[in-house]
Structure 1
Amino acid sequence: MATIQECRAALDRLSRRMAAPAGGVPGTAGLDRSLSCHVTDLDTTFTGRLRDGSIEVEDTVGGAPSRRAQIRIAATGDDLVAMVDGELNFARAWGSGRVRLEAGVRDLLRLRKLL
């Protein structure tokens, strides 16, 4: 089972990959949305912002997020780490219910290349 530190490190790796010039995600530049990532098996939530093509984690809280973020992700720690490391296909995990992603339609369209 992935630890809180491993999950945080995975989010940091994802952020660096998104912000890298060669690996940048088109459509996320200029985006500024609140973000929460609930790690279900650890009952921990990382909150922050998806801003200008990178993730800024601002806080780590126990339990579900107290506020509803504009972009919400929920997964087990192992699934989160596996997705970031390319070992788990997001579309299949999302389709099977292993991972939840909730956001407005416009945000989903902008994030589709990331997923």
Structure 2
Amino acid sequence: MSSPTEPPRLAANRAGADRGAVGAAALDRSLSCHITDLDRTFTGRLDGGRIRVDAVAPGPPARKAEIRLAMTGDDLLALVAGELGFAKAWASGRVRLEAGVRDLLRLKRLL
């Protein structure tokens, strides 16, 4: 329900986004992030909307995770600091994301 000062359409959009984020947060998937310029890979899990890092290893990922990311160290730092938006970085090719179609659709809700 919208507040007296909030337009009903905005309230409906926000409610839809909240439901989408809840669905995406329910993901429980293996995750790898290859930092290309450092040639290091972080592996772990995306679970309950949080990323848990289990290991860091040299080189590209040894195993194929369900969700795979690749980017430079500078881009990772910019993403974490909020200076670079994920959707923009992905669309421009600065961040590579590989995952199954269902996972991509669920992750899209978070972007």
TM-score by length of 2: 0.75
Identity %, equivalent residues:
68
Contact 2:33–2:42, Cα closer than 8 Å, also in 1: yes
Q: Does 1:38 align with 2:34?
A: yes
Cα RMSD over matched residues? 1.6
Higher helix proportion: 2
* Bigger CA radius of gyration: 2
For residue 81 of structure 1, give the secondary structure of its aligned residue in structure 2: helix
Q: Where in structure 1 are there 5+ consecutive unaligned residues?
A: 1-24
Q: Does 1:87 align with 2:69?
A: no
- Structure 1 residue 85: deviation in Å? 1.6
Q: Does 1:52 align with 2:48?
A: yes
Contact 1:26–1:113, Cα closer than 8 Å, also in 2: no
In the alignment, which residue of structure 1 is the partner of 2:63?
Answer: 67
Give the count of matched residue pairs. Answer: 92
TM-score by length of 1: 0.73
Mapped partners of 1:114, 1:30: distance in 2: 12
